[in-house]
Structure 1
Amino acid sequence: MTAPEPAGEDLSPGEQLLLDRLTVALHDADHITLLVGSGVTAGVIPRVPGVLEIADSYAAGRNDDGALERALAQARAELVGAAPVEVYRAYRRVFTDWVSGEAFDVIAQQAVLKAYAAPDPMESPLATHGLGQRLERGVAEGVENDRFSWNLPRGVQALGHLLARIPEAFDHRVLTTNFDPLLEIAIRDAGGRAVSLPLDARGRFGHAGGSDGAVRVFHVHGFWRPTLHVRGPQLLHDPAHIADNAPLVATTADLIRGDTVCVIGSSDWAGTIASAVARTRPLRVLWALNDADAATALSTAERLRDRTGTAVECFPGVDSERLFPALAERAQVPVPPRATGLKNRVRHHNWERQLVSQPGTEPPRDVPGLLLQLERRFGWVTQLRGTVQPIRLLWPVRLRARASVIHMVQAFVAGALARLGVEVRVCVDDVGSRDHEAHSGFLADLDRWIDHTGHGAARTFVSLTEFLDRGHRHPAAGTPEALLRPTDPWSVARTFYGERNPSLYALLAAAKAVPNLTSWDELEKNAWPIVQSVLRTDAKNLLTPLTLWPYLNSMLLESATNDVMTLGGRDEAILWAQWRQTFGNGPGHLYNPYIKNLKHDAHMLRWSSQDDLSRHLHRTRELPGWDVEGSYIPWLFHNALLLPGYLNHEPVLETDDFPLDSWAAFVAAIEDGKPVLDDLAARVTALFLR
């Protein structure tokens, strides 16, 4: 370690003094035992009052005629003027009495998730999980592993670098009364390894072996998710029994092995830390206080000395957001700006489209190249999972009275892939349908559109009803692969509902019965649309996973390689995410760009004449936001006009010898009074209608 350097000028006197003490300890090669509390993560994770607000929101939405709300109100009324932690204890008791012993785990998990914000909620591990449902180990670990989506306070980030770069100075350990995983995420973010070790009610933390070189993070009061050692039913210790939990205090004392103990961000409301320090050998105790009053620091030090029998030095006005970055600077541990990693996961299609949408370009003659151009030019989303090049394409389509222009756009891509040798299977979800005339017309439209870009390439139409009615025993039945990926609806239901146990909300979202929302705020704002969706959506939509997944599983059992890609809309991402969570890795996915505010059955997507479409275009042109990407007119221009022309290498639409090969050019032509909206209606209608 280097000799102490002058502390930062922006530090308070208490922070500067504590920084000097810690720097000396590092220089003298003392082991420092860090005891970290909720104050360190308070910038992103609610403290006790915020947790109580989440509990109140949970109670307000509970279908119990307001019983839980009234019980919580009664508890608050009995504790008017009491400290928030006393109310917290009362809330835990009410939840246990009225809901279950593990109910408050959900509240704690929602508090932790306040620091988590996935850039694409559809791709988040939470996409398939209900907000009011307890997160089990697999899903929660997936959320933790998505470390770029976590918001780390500056102090936690700096502490993560300290623990990752000089773990020996802290004896490869840190103790915390927090139940969040931010310390572990910060350590991993800094290139280190971290092991989460929550203490159970008997003070045990399971097996910590096999983690040489890793920093062990001991969660004294519990952890936000199940681990191999602590699985439930209660993840967090009951605050009413922490103070008199002798085994918990004894283990905490045993874990304090450093020459210096530094407590920061903790009020020690349960007394665990003070009781543990009292059981240890004499050591140096440095206790950081957020309160900047020097007199308070002196009185607190005296009280802690009486409680622990050890001299405790208290430091007023300490903020971990300043202290840990300053300590990292003293220890010559660089803390670079945090890399989000988003640039590697989010494509800037608008920017790329301006560069690559040039007249005269020819579509690639290989599948990977074509998929890449669909991404770059037209904003499609390609997800390849364990496959270099898809050989088979599964396009599930629900049978409707009439096909829409969304079906047409998907058919164009299916045809282009078929032309390149991909085996295209159109799986028609006709379960429960008796309209055979509609069936014939619907398939004829799909077939015609596929042929427009497929140029006669082979494609296969499969009736989902016929597949299920055959009920034949798959040739691979009885093999380990068939047991993992069953091909009958009952086995799928048993695995999906019985073993995976998704929330009802996630199930409804996968069936497109409700919007897929992943935060309490979004749910509250959309309460009435959700109710409307539930009331008007057909119950047979819930059959989709139980009928479609068996067919996909049968395709995957046909060969040893996962060479299948599905085709569909972006709102089907949650359906396939649930399939992956149920059956493991498998197909890739290709999603067409999302069209805002319109679904397949809207007449604007299923017009009957050129005049009809032209009227829709002109009326939409008069609305605010008509030119926003993903809206009706730009979506039609890109996907129903430019896309098929590009796939067939046809000349682009022109006006006055000016090519309309970009949205900017099209808008300019509209503003110049050119009749390009009518031209768009004519071109697209010629493709849409026979």
Structure 2
Amino acid sequence: MTDPADGLSAGETLLLDRLTASLRGVDQITLLLGSGVTAGVIPRVHGVLEIADSFAAGRNDDGALERALEQARSELVGARPIDVYRAYRRVFTDWVSAGAFDVIAQQAVLKAYAAPDPMESPLATHGLGQRLERGVGEGVENDRFSWQLPRGVQALGHLLAQVPEAFDHRVLTTNFDPLLEIAIRSARGRAISLPLDSRGAYGSAGAADGAVRVFHLHGFWRPTLHVRGPRLLHDPARITDNKQLIAATADLIRGDTICVLASSDWSGTVSAALAAVARTRPVRVLWALNDPDAATALSTAEHLREIIGVPVECFPGVDSERLFPALAERAEVPVPPRATGLRHRVRHHSWERQLVSQPGTQPPRDVPGLLLQLERRFGWINQQRGTTSPIRLLWPVRLRSRASVIHMVQAFVAGALARLGVEVRICIDDVGSRDIDVAAEFRADLERWFDHTGHGAVREFVSLTDFLEHVQSQPADTSPEALLRPTDPWSVARTFYGEHNPSLYSLLAAVKAVPNLTSWDELEQNAWPILQSVLRTDANRLLTPLTLWPYLNSMLLESATNDVLTLGGRDEAILWAQWRQTFGFGPGHLYNPYIKSLKHDAHMLRWSSEEELRRHLHSTSELPGWDAEGSYVPWLFQNAMLLPGYLNNDPVPESGDFALDSWAAFVAAIQDDRPVLDQLAARVTDLFLRP
């Protein structure tokens, strides 16, 4: 075994010896950690100020906030970063609101969070620049595999999870991020976040037996049950000489050995709290410095001794990224590689040739089996809520002048599920439409495609306009179930807009008026496309949640909520995520694969002849990246040619003696100069246009 001290500085080796002796003895250690512990992934003061500048640059105030910040900077040339931070907070309070700078701090914390699928993130329904409330913040923390953890924090999480008694089941930190808690939970421990308010109170830590209490001395990044108010983080101008906060911090320091690490103690509250403790009992203070200079460590130790009143050992050149892994090794606490979960959906075309559509392969005869094969073979996404097999399907479809091939593909799946006994309701969103002929032709197309795989199975068409008129004509339902999930648009609006209070951007993304982007960089890069979308999108899209959700709620009043499955496109995920955040646990969702670069109104999705589709296919196949997964040609082949054949157990299509049983085979046929693009055009057009 290698010596754990290998690669450590002299200061780290000495501090490691001191801590190891405390772990092996009867001493308890109180850890008091500063921002340097998470600085590898969470911006420090300078980075937070850059986020604030970006916020100000995008604010619609004719540059007033930017000028005010510039004025504050000009008055503090050469000042400490913390002094500039104080000035920025004051400007934000004066020009925006009392808690405005908390939003900047939250964005800084989220720099360490990267969900593999933004559509699945709790932030999918939350606008950037909007304050995160407790529920959303807790949801983001619970998605612990999406957080970046520095190596030192990860090792400390395992130490606190496996030998919590050595640290008195507690750790104190001036940080406002949740990375310590996430590290402890990732190590299968329990952690409770306890931020102190401006008076030093932290509420109740009841029912916390065995859990590690993480006390956030200067506030926390999200609201908690006992700290709400207009501010989450303490005002730096009010931290210094805050006697209540100092006394509360001193009361939390219970250990015989106190280790201060990665803290500059710019406010002086840490040293003041240690002085209060030293006046009541003997303590041993170990103070780690990032500065490697030994002379600086000696002078700092003398200065701290004068303040605290007892000798202080200072250790130069200490980096938590090295110290905590070494301490875990000394304590014989294993720190395995961190599991990160599934990050990407990977397609294996060689497997598809064997598994997707070989001759003789039959679709499952049960609903769960069919849903599983849609995921595995064709890349559909099934988000099943609960364990009950879906017995009802809600397929909401916006009425358009003409149905598209996306509708056709969705109808194939709806028909196949209906054939297996699922009760299918096709809800036509015809709110605001008065063209009876268009509605009849649209429904006829859906019926025809449904029957191709449904073979005459029962389905029910529902006009959303008729449903809403019926609801408005009935007395209000005041049952507890109806109050929880109302069926009238006004009650839905009051719950969604009034109580849930989504950001305007997330609402526009949910109704597909703007692209759903989840980072500042993406928003800045797509500013013009977003503006174009806002300018050209009809305002009636905003009615979707207020008209569609009442119908879903009416279905959920009929029986258990987890037997319902909705059918739609992947870009509707945020709409249903907002429903869940508004009304709680509910139905599952089935999404067809996304077509890159094409929206529902594109003419390439609703051609009028085989020749027209053939022209689309040939011209598209000459473009770079035409064969990438999700592009037009592979999407049509997989979903409009292979899928219906699979659902009906039809023979595999062939080109001469060449079986077109996977996308890889289709590409190989093109390279062999076989006319498979024409064959695709003929087969798909036959399904799309056949009377």
Q: Provide, for residues 491-534 of structure 1, a one-character-per-residue CA deviation record: whole Å limited to 9, x for no partner.
A: 00000000000000010000100111111111111111111110
Task: Judge which range, 624-633 or 203-212, deviates more.
Answer: 203-212
Residues 560 and 665 of structure 1: CA distance in aligned 2, closer, same or farther (over 3 Å): closer
Deviation, 1:350, is 5.3
Residue 679 of structure 2 corresponds to which residue in structure 1?
Answer: 679
Contact 1:30–1:258 (8 Å) recurs in 2: yes
Contact 1:127–1:506 (8 Å) recurs in 2: yes
Residue correspondence of structure 1 range 239-318 to structure 2 within 5 A: 239-281=236-278, 282-318=282-318
Residue correspondence of structure 1 range 180-259 to structure 2 within 5 A: 180-259=177-256
Residues 225 and 66 of structure 1: CA distance in aligned 2, closer, same or farther (over 3 Å): same
Residue 526 of structure 1 corresponds to which residue in structure 2?
Answer: 526
Cα separation, 2, equivalents of 1:391 and 1:475: 29
Secondary structure, aligned partner of 2:562: coil
Deviation, 1:6, is 5.1
Secondary structure, aligned partner of 1:462: strand
Cα separation, 2, equivalents of 1:314 and 1:53: 32
| Residue number among 50, 54, 78 corresponding to 1:57 in the alignment | 54
Contact 2:241–2:269 (8 Å) recurs in 1: no
Residue 623 of structure 1 corresponds to which residue in structure 2?
Answer: 623
Secondary structure, aligned partner of 1:279: helix
Q: Which amino acid aligns with 1:356?
A: L
Deviation, 1:560, is 3.8
Q: Which amino acid aligns with 2:352?
A: R
Contact 1:406–1:605 (8 Å) recurs in 2: yes
Residue 23 of structure 2 corresponds to which residue in structure 1?
Answer: 26
| Residue number among 41, 44, 47 corresponding to 2:44 in the alignment | 47
Residue 101 of structure 1 corresponds to which residue in structure 2?
Answer: 98
Deviation, 1:162, is 0.5
Q: Provide, for residues 514-563 of structure 1, a one-character-per-residue CA deviation record: whole Å limited to 9, x for no partner.
A: 11111111111111111111001110000000000000000111124531
Residues 456 and 202 of structure 1: CA distance in aligned 2, closer, same or farther (over 3 Å): same
Residue 499 of structure 1 corresponds to which residue in structure 2?
Answer: 499
Cα separation, 2, equivalents of 1:393 and 1:182: 41
Residues 352 and 463 of structure 1: CA distance in aligned 2, closer, same or farther (over 3 Å): farther
Task: Judge which range, 351-360 or 424-433, deviates more.
Answer: 351-360
Query: Does the alignment pair 1:356 with 2:334?
Result: no
Residues 351 and 325 of structure 1: CA distance in aligned 2, closer, same or farther (over 3 Å): farther
Deviation, 1:610, is 0.4
Normalised by the size of structure 1, how large is the TM-score? Answer: 0.98
Residue correspondence of structure 1 range 136-151 to structure 2 within 5 A: 136-151=133-148
Deviation, 1:365, is 0.8
Query: Does the alignment pair 1:77 with 2:57?
Result: no
Cα separation, 2, equivalents of 1:287 and 1:359: 71
Contact 1:387–1:588 (8 Å) recurs in 2: no
Residue 482 of structure 1 corresponds to which residue in structure 2?
Answer: 482
Cα separation, 2, equivalents of 1:88 and 1:35: 22
Secondary structure, aligned partner of 1:50: helix
Residue 324 of structure 2 corresponds to which residue in structure 1?
Answer: 324
Deviation, 1:359, is 2.5
Contact 1:206–1:229 (8 Å) recurs in 2: yes
Contact 2:349–2:664 (8 Å) recurs in 1: no
Contact 2:31–2:172 (8 Å) recurs in 1: yes
Residue 161 of structure 1 corresponds to which residue in structure 2?
Answer: 158
Q: Provide, for residues 626-655 of structure 1, a one-character-per-residue CA deviation record: whole Å limited to 9, x for no partner.
A: 000000000000000000010111112211
Deviation, 1:351, is 6.9
Secondary structure, aligned partner of 1:105: helix
Residue 333 of structure 1 corresponds to which residue in structure 2?
Answer: 333
Residue 656 of structure 1 corresponds to which residue in structure 2?
Answer: 656
Normalised by the size of structure 2, how large is the TM-score? Answer: 0.98
Residue 116 of structure 1 corresponds to which residue in structure 2?
Answer: 113
Secondary structure, aligned partner of 1:318: coil
Residue 369 of structure 1 corresponds to which residue in structure 2?
Answer: 369
Cα separation, 1, equivalents of 2:561 and 2:217: 46
Residues 351 and 582 of structure 1: CA distance in aligned 2, closer, same or farther (over 3 Å): farther
Secondary structure, aligned partner of 1:55: helix
Aligned length: 686
Contact 1:353–1:376 (8 Å) recurs in 2: no
Deviation, 1:686, is 0.3
Contact 1:349–1:379 (8 Å) recurs in 2: no
Q: Which amino acid aligns with 1:308?
A: I
Contact 1:154–1:321 (8 Å) recurs in 2: yes
Q: Which amino acid aligns with 2:607?
A: W
Cα separation, 2, equivalents of 1:373 and 1:417: 12
Residue 89 of structure 2 corresponds to which residue in structure 1?
Answer: 92
Secondary structure, aligned partner of 1:568: strand
Query: Percent identity of the aligned residues?
Result: 80
Cα separation, 2, equivalents of 1:351 and 1:298: 66
Deviation, 1:86, is 0.8
Q: Which amino acid aligns with 2:165?
A: E
Residue 462 of structure 2 corresponds to which residue in structure 1?
Answer: 462
Deviation, 1:29, is 2.0
The two structures, once aligned, show a CA RMSD in angstroms of 1.5
Residue 577 of structure 1 corresponds to which residue in structure 2?
Answer: 577
Cα separation, 2, equivalents of 1:195 and 1:355: 50
Deviation, 1:307, is 1.7
Q: Provide, for residues 566-593 of structure 1, a one-character-per-residue CA deviation record: whole Å limited to 9, x for no partner.
A: 0000000000000001111111000000
Residue 398 of structure 1 corresponds to which residue in structure 2?
Answer: 398
Cα separation, 2, equivalents of 1:351 and 1:659: 14
Residues 348 and 208 of structure 1: CA distance in aligned 2, closer, same or farther (over 3 Å): farther
Cα separation, 2, equivalents of 1:635 and 1:365: 25
Deviation, 1:312, is 1.1
Cα separation, 2, equivalents of 1:198 and 1:268: 18
Residues 405 and 439 of structure 1: CA distance in aligned 2, closer, same or farther (over 3 Å): same
Contact 1:349–1:377 (8 Å) recurs in 2: no
Task: Judge which range, 146-155 or 280-289, deviates more.
Answer: 280-289
Residue correspondence of structure 1 range 556-595 to structure 2 within 5 A: 556-595=556-595
Cα separation, 2, equivalents of 1:352 and 1:97: 61
Q: Provide, for residues 185-230 of structure 1, a one-character-per-residue CA deviation record: whole Å limited to 9, x for no partner.
A: 1011111111100000100000112101110000000000000110
Residue 555 of structure 1 corresponds to which residue in structure 2?
Answer: 555
Residue 541 of structure 1 corresponds to which residue in structure 2?
Answer: 541
Q: Which amino acid aligns with 2:355?
A: V
Cα separation, 1, equivalents of 2:352 and 2:10: 55
Q: Which amino acid aligns with 1:543?
A: L
Residue 670 of structure 1 corresponds to which residue in structure 2?
Answer: 670
Contact 2:419–2:457 (8 Å) recurs in 1: yes
Cα separation, 2, equivalents of 1:191 and 1:649: 47
Secondary structure, aligned partner of 1:274: helix
Q: Which amino acid aligns with 1:625?
A: G
Residues 383 and 596 of structure 1: CA distance in aligned 2, closer, same or farther (over 3 Å): same
Query: Does the alignment pair 1:633 with 2:633?
Result: yes
Cα separation, 1, equivalents of 2:374 and 2:273: 61
Cα separation, 2, equivalents of 1:349 and 1:568: 25
Cα separation, 1, equivalents of 2:387 and 2:476: 22
Secondary structure, aligned partner of 1:535: helix
Residue 424 of structure 2 corresponds to which residue in structure 1?
Answer: 424
Cα separation, 1, equivalents of 2:73 and 2:561: 60
Secondary structure, aligned partner of 1:174: strand
Residues 631 and 296 of structure 1: CA distance in aligned 2, closer, same or farther (over 3 Å): same
Deviation, 1:388, is 2.3
Deviation, 1:473, is 7.0
Deviation, 1:478, is 2.2
Deviation, 1:340, is 1.3
Cα separation, 2, equivalents of 1:360 and 1:644: 15
Query: Does the alignment pair 1:442 with 2:442?
Result: yes
Return 5+ residue gaps in structure 1 as ranges.
none
Cα separation, 2, equivalents of 1:192 and 1:475: 52
Cα separation, 2, equivalents of 1:123 and 1:474: 37
